[in-house]
Amino acid sequence: MAKQHTSSERHACRLIGIARSTKRYRSRRKEREMSLRQRLRSLALERPRFGYRRLGALLAQEGQKANHKCVYRLYRAEGLVVRRRRKRLARGTGPPAALPQRSNQRWSMDFVSDCTAGGRTIRALTLVDDYTRECLAIEVDTSLGGVRVRRVLESVLEKRSKPEAIVVDNGPEFRGRALAGWSEERRVRLQFGESGAR
């Protein structure tokens, strides 16, 4: 019976013009993928902070043949996505600052954003006296860096005396060298607090 099956298979392959080895081919992809998946899982357990690219590089070092798309697909299927922690900037510490008792004792400075009808983002630097709630300056532009912030403060100081402190958030414009240098020169303390806390 087996001989008859073999001859009929041979005959059928000859009729349609394919080799018997092609007909009998069994893909080893699933076996290879399972082994790759297991190795990927164990590497991810050894190195939990590695993403799929670095794990793929380790597999390549071991001689495993798999492109980055395949590694990414298996990485996602195994639920190995690395959850990265965002760096937190240092926040203002200590008890809340006492309320100012007079004008020019303490100012607050912050940025607000908006966009034009055409979709272009604009930023506004606002400077307020915390005692009188008077708006001392509003500077509007598409980009406002630390040097520009310094220039605004200098123009305000031409008209009034300097404060003891200015409350700002942890934005890069306020933490940069330009404002730190100005603070030292003018002997005005920068009081860092949380954004939107004022």
CA 75 – CA 66 distance, rounded (Å): 12
Backbone angles phi, psi at 192, to 5 degrees: -85, 130
DSSP class of 24: T
| Second CATH level (architecture) for the domain 106-192 | 2-Layer Sandwich (3.30)
Q: How far apart are CA 52 and CA 78, in angstroms?
A: 11
Mean pLDDT by 10 residues, the chain (198 residues): 58 72 62 82 81 83 81 81 59 63 93 83 93 94 90 93 92 88 91 61
Q: Specify the pLDDT at position 162.
A: 92
**pLDDT attached to residue 198:** 45
pLDDT given for residue 197 in this prediction? 43
| CA neighbor of 59 nearest in space, from 29, 68, 45, 31 | 68
Q: What is the pTM of this model?
A: 0.50
Domain ranges of the chain: 8-77, 106-192
Largest CA distance in the chain: 108
